């Protein structure tokens, strides 16, 4: 994959951050003017800075981009432990933006090459190393678990699409890029979310906000219907080490793209778990939903077949058993549907408290769908501890919403994770 590249509490957080920086930024040495290079600003809020001749902030401007903006930068400066890019086009033209996963020069930027390989510190935990293709798209990963503190040598420290990495030359990840906790600190960044086993079937339950959560939010993605960005979304979640719960339909799981998605899920048990979204995405309460669906309320036997048929396909492709997790198509269920689902092992019904409505295109009439910025803003403004966010792997602007959404959730102290991580 080539990485294609506010509102509410998040806006307040960003403004406060900008004001703090305005009081504290000082020059730490320039990187320098450069021939204009491509820059990608992801959807969402961005703050542009103007500096005095002594590199003190003298002005800020915050804008929200509905979708990604491709522009250029003609200067890159190192200021108070951060790099800034002076953009030449768009609403922040002539201002500096902080270089990051949401504002970056695509591809690799070398920040430090070590004459002698230098140690990267690893704490106990699970880590992913990455290999990239010639266009700096994801090529492969290598997972490892360390039971105690360790270290290995790196040849250089870089940014790849605004994300900090070390190029490892010794240890488990020799030949791979290891994410770092910051662009300036040689400490490896591990996976901080978790994918424990599903909770036991037990009694029938419906979840909209998950009980027992710490500072966690469940990101969930339905897979069915439109499949165009599905693989890109999964690979972006891998790049940013975001644990998520995926609810595929059986028919989507048979699609070639669906098979690729489930192969990624199989390859990354440290990040993904699956639930069941039925075989044909029928309305199990009222009937209807497609040619394979009855036009009247389905029987209990039909409901059972919809779940068991999909489960066999999902299990074969992903290596994971979706039971007892399921999500009713259209969110349509009643006690009769829940009883029929429970009879075949599906006792945990997952609804949501944040519906991004990402399945609707922006140009839909009479009601337009959300832009990428609106998706991210909706999640940020409504997320509470234990929230369940509903998105789709076929969402029109979901891929472009993820960088801002994930960055801002983490900055706000809300860890995006799986439903099992919270319920366990």
Per the CB < 8 A criterion, the answer to whether 108 and 160 are in contact is yes
Q: Distance (Å, rounded) from C-alpha 133 to C-alpha 338?
A: 46
Per-residue model confidence (pLDDT) at position 81: 82
Is the model's pLDDT at 4 over the cut of 90? no
pLDDT digits (tens, 9 = 90+) for 62-91: 999 999 999 999 999 999 888 999 999 999
Per-residue model confidence (pLDDT) at position 241: 98
Per-residue model confidence (pLDDT) at position 287: 98
Higher per-residue pLDDT: 18 or 144: 144
Per the CB < 8 A criterion, the answer to whether 399 and 237 are in contact is no
Q: 10 Å Cβ neighbour count for 163?
A: 20
Query: Quick one: average pLDDT of 11-25?
Result: 36
243-269 burial code (b ≥16 CB/10 A, e <16)? bbbbbbbbbbbebebbebbbebbebbe
Q: Distance (Å, rounded) from C-alpha 137 to C-alpha 131?
A: 9
Among residues 346, 388, 333, the alpha carbon closest in space to that of 210 is found at 388
pLDDT digits (tens, 9 = 90+) for 239-292: 999 999 999 999 999 999 999 999 999 999 999 999 999 999 999 999 999 999
Residues in contact with 301: Cβ distance below 8 Å, sequence separation at least 6, in sequence order: none
Is the model's pLDDT at 380 over the cut of 80? yes
| DSSP, res 330 | G
Is the model's pLDDT at 131 over the cut of 80? yes
Angle, CA of 111, 117 and 118, to the nearest 5°: 75
Query: Quick one: average pLDDT of 147-154?
Result: 97
| DSSP, res 172 | T
Q: Distance (Å, rounded) from C-alpha 266 to C-alpha 317?
A: 8
pLDDT digits (tens, 9 = 90+) for 176-196: 999 999 999 999 999 999 999
**Burial class of residue 156 (count of CB atoms within 10 Å of its CB; 0-12, 13-18, 19+):** middle
Query: Quick one: average pLDDT of 51-61?
Result: 95
**415 — alpha (psi -120 to 50), left (phi > 0) or beta?**
beta
Q: Distance (Å, rounded) from C-alpha 274 to C-alpha 225?
A: 17
Q: 10 Å Cβ neighbour count for 13?
A: 17
State the average pLDDT for the chain: 92
Sequence spans of domains, the chain: 8-106, 110-179, 205-423
Query: Quick one: average pLDDT of 102-109?
Result: 96
Per-residue model confidence (pLDDT) at position 157: 96
Is the model's pLDDT at 21 over the cut of 60? no
Among residues 162, 165, 23, the alpha carbon closest in space to that of 80 is found at 23
Helix/strand/coil percentages in the chain, nearest 5:
25, 35, 40
Q: Distance (Å, rounded) from C-alpha 114 to C-alpha 64?
A: 38
pTM: 0.91
Strand partners, 207: 350
Q: Distance (Å, rounded) from C-alpha 85 to C-alpha 380?
A: 26
Is the model's pLDDT at 134 over the cut of 50? yes
Is the model's pLDDT at 108 over the cut of 50? yes
pLDDT digits (tens, 9 = 90+) for 298-310: 999 999 999 999 9
pLDDT digits (tens, 9 = 90+) for 208-226: 999 989 999 999 999 999 9
Per-residue model confidence (pLDDT) at position 204: 97
Is the model's pLDDT at 12 over the cut of 70? no
Topology of the domain comprising 205-423: TIM Barrel (3.20.20)
Per the CB < 8 A criterion, the answer to whether 369 and 362 are in contact is yes
390-399 burial code (b ≥16 CB/10 A, e <16)? bbbbbbbbbb
Q: Return the minimum-mean-pLDDT range out of 17-21, 121-125, 133-137, 391-395.
A: 17-21
Per the CB < 8 A criterion, the answer to whether 154 and 137 are in contact is no
Q: 10 Å Cβ neighbour count for 306?
A: 28
Per the CB < 8 A criterion, the answer to whether 375 and 202 are in contact is no
């Amino acid at each position: 994959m080539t990485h294609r590249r506010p509102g509410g509490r998040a806006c307040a957080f960003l403004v406060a951050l900008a004001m703090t920086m305005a009081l504290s930024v000082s020059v730490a040495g320039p990187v320098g003017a450069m021939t204009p290079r491509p820059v990608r600003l992801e959807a969402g809020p961005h703050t542009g800075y103007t500096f005095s001749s002594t590199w003190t902030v003298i002005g800020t401007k915050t804008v929200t981009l509905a979708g990604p903006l491709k522009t250029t930068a003609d200067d890159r400066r190192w200021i108070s432990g951060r790099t800034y890019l002076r953009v030449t086009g768009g609403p922040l033209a002539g201002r500096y933006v902080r270089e990051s996963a949401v504002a970056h020069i695509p591809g690799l930027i070398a920040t430090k090459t070590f004459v002698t390989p230098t140690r990267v510190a690893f704490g106990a935990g699970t880590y992913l190393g990455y290999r990239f293709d010639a266009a700096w798209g994801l090529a492969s990963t290598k997972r490892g678990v360390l039971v105690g503190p360790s270290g290995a040598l790196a040849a250089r420290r870089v940014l790849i699409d605004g994300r900090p990495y070390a190029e490892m030359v010794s240890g488990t990840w020799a030949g791979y890029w290891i994410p770092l906790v910051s662009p300036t600190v040689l400490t490896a960044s591990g996976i901080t979310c978790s994918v424990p086993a599903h909770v036991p079937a037990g009694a029938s339950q419906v979840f909209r906000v998950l009980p027992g959560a710490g500072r966690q939010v469940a990101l969930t993605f339905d897979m069915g219907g439109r499949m165009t960005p599905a693989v890109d979304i999964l690979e972006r979640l891998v790049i940013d080490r975001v644990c998520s719960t995926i609810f595929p339909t059986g028919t989507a799981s048979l699609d070639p793209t669906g098979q690729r998605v489930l192969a990624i899920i199989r390859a990354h048990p440290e990040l993904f778990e699956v639930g069941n979204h039925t075989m044909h995405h029928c309305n199990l309460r009222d009937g209807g939903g497609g040619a394979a669906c009855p036009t009247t309320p389905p029987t209990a036997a039909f409901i059972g077949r919809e779940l068991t048929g999909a489960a066999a396909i999902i299990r074969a492709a992903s290596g994971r058993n979706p039971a007892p997790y399921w999500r009713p198509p259209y969110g349509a269920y009643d006690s009769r549907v829940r009883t029929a689902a429970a009879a075949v092992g599906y006792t945990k019904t997952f609804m949501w408290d944040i519906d991004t409505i990402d399945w609707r295109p922006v140009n839909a009439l009479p009601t337009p769908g959300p832009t990428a910025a609106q998706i991210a803003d909706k999640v940020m403004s409504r997320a509470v501890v234990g929230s369940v966010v509903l998105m789709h792997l076929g969402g029109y602007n979901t891929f472009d919403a993820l960088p801002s959404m994930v960055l801002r959730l983490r900055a706000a102290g809300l860890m995006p994770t799986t439903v099992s991580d919270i319920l366990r």
